[in-house]
Structure 1
């Protein structure tokens, strides 16, 4: 199948592109710079948020996968552009080119009324997909782990390896998470392209095991060989400090990230298992390679 991956040059897109090629698909990746690192992929320049280059990118495609997502607004990129405008423009381009299959990457926890602009704009994008009239699937991954990821290989590794004599822990650290391996995410997207039962479905993607935020910190600390103690930072203090430092370009955490961490990120894996056949690889298996890898940044 000819598959266009919009926003496919970052962490998830790189892994997904390799997997799609492995499964025999012909892959085009559209990104702002039109560059990438996967041999065999055709890269084209397009900016979905500004509706630039999409008309050309969708030509001769049979399916579109929309991956564009940002966790922090910077460099002229906004949540509205990435999660709402880009989805709208991509759906319009798909309809104009006669492309019926559209698979959208949202996020576990996306809904209105959360106070998180990330979650709320993701929810707005979902609604555009549902009302598009296309053969759509919406996938909502939890935290995604794998070589090059930003959370385990970036945020948590940074907290453990920071020069401070302790590892900061938000509150009591009991917020629940069910992280999922990037290989399972790629498999779910690829299977969505050919599964009739995936059409018209919104599905949470989660891993086989639930952890608290504290357990994740301890797991990363152990793998890195650190013995620094965890220091709980009271939520009352975090509630005061985070809004002040969030707008700063060097802030270690934004208001949106803080709200999402406090909310946790977990769901029942049963509906996912009814639709997809996934390996469900464990975090413990992959963590050594993740912590030895560099972060993959999109373009």
Structure 2
């Protein structure tokens, strides 16, 4: 089948393109740069530009559209509303009526969420369900793997920068991280025709509290530091003040998402798509070592 993947040059996109190509699909890798990804042919596609999306879809003439584009932090004109909601609207409008559509949302997607990220992901889901297209929606938790941003950068910096490790509140917020390999396999299964008309949470085999994630990151880095709780009342005052910094250590939106937690059972996705369920504790030391080696080579 011919498959057009939006956001193909990103962390998840590269893994999905690679898995689809391995399964023998003709993959078109859509990105703003239009470059080839993992052997797939590149096509210029900017989801915030309706004309760009129409042209890319016309060039690829896909049987399936896989929409992966999303942002974690708003920058300039790249707002959650513009990328998640309007971008999804553009992709849905351009998708051929005879094609299937596979959508990456997020665990916690809810139009009523305090988090702008989660709220716009929820509104985008509503557009998908009302599109009339045969769809599958995936809601991943935190995704880990080579090149991930949360475990490879955000959490690493949090436990490495200061002599102590700050913990938000009592650290009890739950998370169930999922590997990028599991995510890619689920998306490829949907492209192959599994799970049409359904919405699936994508979570891993193990649940962690935020404190346990901090402890796991420290062990994987071979560090030993005290973890110091920061009361939520102080965080509620400090986080807005941090926003005056050029690159705040945590945005107001990320703070809202952390307090909400990010967990759900891994069934039925595990069984429907035959997911291997890679474990964070097994993979994290190697991922961090690879990131360290890459950083040293770049320097």
For this structure pair, what is the TM-score category when the shorter chain's length is used for normalisation? over 0.9
Distance in 1, matches of 2:210 and 2:197, equals 33
Aligned residue for 1:231?
228
Compute the TM-score of the two structures, normalised by the length of structure 1.
0.93
Contact 2:80 2:120 in 1 (8 A): yes
Distance in 1, matches of 2:10 and 2:90, equals 20
Aligned residue for 2:25?
25
Gaps of 5+ in 1: none
| 3-state SS of paired residue (2:228) | strand
- The runs of 4+ residues in structure 1 deviating greater than 6 Å are none
Q: Deviations over 1:7-41 (max 9, x none)?
A: 11110001111111111111111111223552x21
Distance in 2, matches of 1:293 and 1:87, equals 34
Compute the TM-score of the two structures, normalised by the length of structure 2.
0.93
Aligned residue for 1:7?
7
| 3-state SS of paired residue (2:75) | coil
Q: Deviations over 1:72-111 (max 9, x none)?
A: 001421101111001000011113xx44200000000000
Q: Deviations over 1:123-176 (max 9, x none)?
A: 0100000000001010000000001001101111111221x1111111111110
How many corresponding residue pairs?
A: 291
Distance in 1, matches of 2:193 and 2:95, equals 19
Gaps of 5+ in 2: 295-299
Aligned-residue CA RMSD (Å): 1.6
Indicate how the Cα distance of structure 1 residues 182 and 76 shifts in structure 2: closer, same or farther if over 3 A, else same. Answer: same
Aligned residue for 1:91?
92
- Greater RCO between the two (CA within 8 Å, min separation 6)? 1
Out of 242, 255, 260, the residue aligned to residue 239 of structure 2 is 242
| 3-state SS of paired residue (2:268) | helix
Q: Deviations over 1:18-76 (max 9, x none)?
A: 111111111111111223552x2111112111224212211321100000110100142
The range that moved more, 127-136 or 71-80, is 71-80
Aligned residue for 1:192?
190
